[in-house]
A and B are shown apart, each in its own frame.
Chain A
């Protein structure tokens, strides 16, 4: 058990070192949310000057509405790529090296997920700082922000877990990327991340309500715009927690199966 924890940490450590070492990647991951917030936020500002749409958004500041969406979009992509690295590890033989060592096998998927979680948390904190500088105020203050980061980390685990499970069975990067792109963008745009459900056509609203992204957006948006409304925070949090656990279990199961011959 002690080994499981330390092995998990060193698997994650390797990813994190590389994350911080690749400066271009680091800069891009931090600039990307700025671009989203500045451009999208400004383009869509017209929405909030209309009282009807402002009611649908629940705020007069579109940027504040959109920040939770950007937070999840960033963790969504980060999480998905967390799993992809295992395809690369298999290619260069690093995975085999890990499996040949007396390491707890569960530590390999857990380590990758942990790395994605930590990277996600760093990005989310950066987004929150940038959004604050652009005039978004978080209703629930520092404690709320901590909870927002935690929800985003859980959300990243869902994606990294599923992408790990996928990567365990898919051998080429190209196939994996195709599948990832096929899933992630529609997942994002059929949620309430960037657009309020109240303003959606009914068919899209139906999809948005069951979309897991919406479940994560819900509590974060409440914490940002409304305050400590537990009645609207807990259900979403529960679903995200459940899905994160499920995704970790699936990742473990598929990984163990794929690496036992």
Chain B
């Protein structure tokens, strides 16, 4: 029995192993509340798209219990499909159809009547500022317009929960910000629940109420962006020593003894992150003097406030790499294919 006001999405112990034996998602659990913008942050291949595809019924879960609006997705796949909208990572727009024809077909595939589609398409196309271009072939659209149309299409059946897989992948910074505004408006004006994946830190930071950091199929951390940043500490002093010296551990020990220091993390690039609760700038002279007391010389020392990048590095031990090159190469390949086909 669904509870009176269930959460939008509930995932318990989801595991997905592909036919070839690849473990894409490894025993994850999380809950998304109604009206929330929830983000999955992680690099390509972390299991983000797989999670979305399982939730909308494109893939079958290997293990786990999944509820959308309190309804078990494996038992009522049709109902789930009607309650959710999905815009894939690749904008799946048929470029030889007009904007209107694309959205019309989408409406038909959700079994809406012609009249309903005409009414609602006008509404969503206006919202995404595409109404004036509705009768143009989408082959003439820019990447940002295609993405907007794709999201507009996913709203034609008025879903309460929207899944956006990498909504701004391959778009330039300006267009990305425009898309963010549309996403925010959907939540503000319609109270929609939005689940999105991204590997852009700024995106997770700018949009999401809560962020789950996902790496190699596991959730490493889940909280509000602010809380995640607070977890690694108030500020970070980054220290680099001039040479690999046997006395470094001694110096670190002395620094760790300072009351404001919460911890020290060695990084792969040879730097040490000294995580301090506050007033990192005032602590720098003290760190400096402790190092000289230990007989170790510093090459550089700097201070920074933690960003989600640091959070990511902190929880996964790796830096997230925005694979822009990969995405762009992919889009170019698509354009080439398009030309050949139209030839």
Contacts and interface: CB of A to CB of B under 8 A. Distances in A.
Interface stretch (A2-10, A150-158, A222-230): A2-10
Given A10-B109, A261-B19, A99 B58 contact: yes
Interface string A10-23: 10011001100110
B336 to A, nearest CB: 12
Contact of B88 (A6, A18, A96, A261): A96
Interface in A96-110: 96-103
B94 A14 contact: yes
B118 to A, nearest CB: 15
Contact of A101 (B110, B337, B342): B110
Contacts of B38: none
B304 interface: no
A94 interface: yes
Contacts of B342: 22
Contact of B60 (A13, A99, A260): A260
Given A88-B341, A91-B334, A102 B97 contact: no
Interface in B81-127: 81-82, 86, 88-94, 96-97, 101, 105-106, 108-111
A93 B88 contact: yes
A173 B341 CA distance: 11
B96 A22 contact: yes
Contacts of B111: 3, 6, 102
A101 B96 contact: no
Chain A binding surface, main DSSP class: helix
Contacts of A261: 18-19, 59-60
B56 interface: yes
Chain B binding surface, main DSSP class: loop
Interface string B302-343: 000000000000000000000000000000001001000110
A15 to B, nearest CB: 10
A148 B161 CA distance: 51
Contact of B82 (A91, A97, A102): A102
Given A7-B109, A18-B97, A93 B92 contact: yes
A85 B201 CA distance: 37
A27 interface: no
B78 interface: yes
Contacts of B18: 261
Contacts of B57: 100
Interface residues on A, range: 20 to 34
A92 B96 CA distance: 12
Nearest to B334: A92
A4 to B, nearest CB: 11
A100 B108 contact: no
Contacts of A92: 90, 92-94, 334
Contacts of B105: 10, 13-14
Contacts of A10: 105, 108-109
Given A17-B97, A17-B101, A261-B60, A101 B92 contact: no
Given A88-B341, A260-B60, A261-B19, A94 B92 contact: yes
A231 B60 CA distance: 52
19 contacts: A13-B105, A18-B94, A22-B342, A92-B92, A92-B93, A92-B334, A93-B90, A94-B94, A96-B58, A96-B92, A97-B92, A100-B81, A101-B81, A101-B106, A102-B82, A261-B18, A261-B19, A261-B59, A261-B60
Interface of B: 18-19, 56-60, 78, 81-82, 86, 88-94, 96-97, 101, 105-106, 108-111, 334, 337, 341-342
Given A92-B90, A101-B106, 16 more contacts: A6-B111, A13-B105, A17-B97, A18-B96, A18-B97, A91-B334, A93-B88, A93-B89, A94-B94, A97-B92, A97-B106, A99-B58, A102-B78, A102-B110, A173-B337, A261-B18
